[in-house]
Amino acid sequence: MTLIDLGEQRDTALPSGPGPGRLLRRWAPALVALLCLLTPAAAAPWPTQPPSATVPASPDAHALFVDEVLLVADSSGPDAVPDGDPVPRLAAHRLPSGRPLWRVPMPAPGRVFHAVRVGDLLAVGLAGDRTTPQVVGLSLGDGGVRWRVEGQLRGATPAGNLLLWGSDGSGASVLRSVDPAGGAVRWSQPLASEDALLSRRDQRVSLLTVLAGGRLELRDPDTGAVRAATAVPGRSRMLTVTEELVLLTDDSGTLSGYEVATLRRRWGVPRGPADQPEAFDCGVLICIEDGSPAIRLLDPATGAVRWQTENAALWPAAVEGRLLAVRGSSGGDAEHVLLDAATGRPVRQLGRWRAGAPGMLSADGTTMHRRQRDGRYLVGRIDERGEGVRVLAALRGVVGGCGAHGSVVVCRHEGGGLGVWELPGDRDREGRA
């Protein structure tokens, strides 16, 4: 098992060694030479600032990407009442132009925490500290309210139906399927939220995995019908569903992998010290945070530990066969390193960046940004070949708070409001940070 230290260098390809687990600091002499060789590329001029549009918004507004629409939930924006209670507003803007579509009073108390588009309808989930969560169906054309129901929006199915968590009136949790046309309930099932996992593909809920009554079930999210089922040990708990496996733990302290295709139990291994560890897909492997200092990476075929790391958050990178490791993040810039997913070997240091920001409720996972000493705000993407972070724009007048969706980046302006930029393509002549 390999323990990995992510080191301190910047956007540098790391030479391969005889085996995994080499500390990055041990490569310092070689990195000095490599940095000299890479200086011409690193010094390439950055792209100029692309044209932008400005979307009105207060400093505490929340923004959310929904397909080609930017939703802005604002409690104190341009339409606030002077010297009185602010009038919460919800606005929609077309992307990438930033053209306003509509601006209406907030259709329910609370703030937007999720939204999906189905045809010409926007289903918007709202919740507040002392209010019952609601889902409101809005017309994409004018923001008019078509229907509203209580519950928490969890997504849309391949057929366009909406899935909501709610209560049956007695306090028990219920999963409901709602028709987007009018909000009518198509089917419902009493389920505790911890006993159901919703797997997504292409931004739609593609599979409903249910654990109930000592049975593990796979259900059709559009109809609620059971596709497959198998018996599992009593008091089992679901952790996650990957492309291949459903991961469960039970009271015996075992972590088990069940095949999604057949529900056959493929393997079982000790789960670690935590009663309910965290598990998530890490590309070709499975990441397990089990209460110990290290993240374990398991082989999905056998459950065996392939490698582990103690000092980084991990998630799949845009580059095939790579993981993105992030160290030292506390809301600001953090060291980003590309690792070989199979071995954990560091492949390239990407430098200090940040991805996403509070109040910008979505990001694409590949776009990064950071402030330079001269005040410019760099926006870049991880190169598909794993050669570094390619800078696509050098913005001025930006305070941060950036989010990205496809070719569009939205950041907070120094003078107020949100700036919208459509980034150029990933061309060879663009600079590299």
> pLDDT for 172-230, tens place per residue?
899 999 999 999 999 999 998 889 999 998 889 999 999 988 999 999 999 999 999 99
Q: 195 versus 5: which is more confidently predicted?
A: 195
Q: 3 versus 221: which is more confidently predicted?
A: 221
HEC secondary structure over 119-155: CCEEEEEEECCCCCCEEEEEECCCCCEEEEEECEEEE
DSSP letter at 272 equals -
pLDDT at 317: 77
Assess contact for 334 and 416: CB atoms under 8 A. Answer: no
Give all strands of the β-sheet with 204-212 in edge-to-edge order: 196-201, 204-212, 215-219, 226-231
Question: Cis link prior to 96 (omega < 30° from 0)?
Answer: yes
| Sign of the alpha-carbon torsion through 306, 290, 192, 181 | negative
How wide is the angle at C-alpha 404 spanned by C-alphas 155 and 413, nearest 5°? 120
Radius of gyration of the chain from Cα atoms? 24
CA-CA distance, 367 to 377, in Å (whole number)?
Answer: 13
pLDDT at 27: 36
Q: Which of 44-58, 287-301, 342-356 is most confident?
A: 287-301
Mean local confidence (pLDDT), 231-247: 93
Q: Residue 379: how many CB atoms within 10 A of its CB?
A: 28
Q: Evaluate if residue 262 carries a pLDDT over 60.
A: yes
Predicted confidence band at 415 (pLDDT cuts at 50, 70, 90)?
Answer: confident
Q: How many C-alpha atoms does 394 have within 13 Å on its Cβ side? A: 14
282-296 pLDDT per residue, tens: 989 999 998 888 999
Alpha carbon separation from 5 to 279, 286, 295 (Å, rounded): 22, 20, 13
pLDDT at 264: 97
Mean local confidence (pLDDT), 84-90: 76
- The model's pTM: 0.82
pLDDT at 419: 92
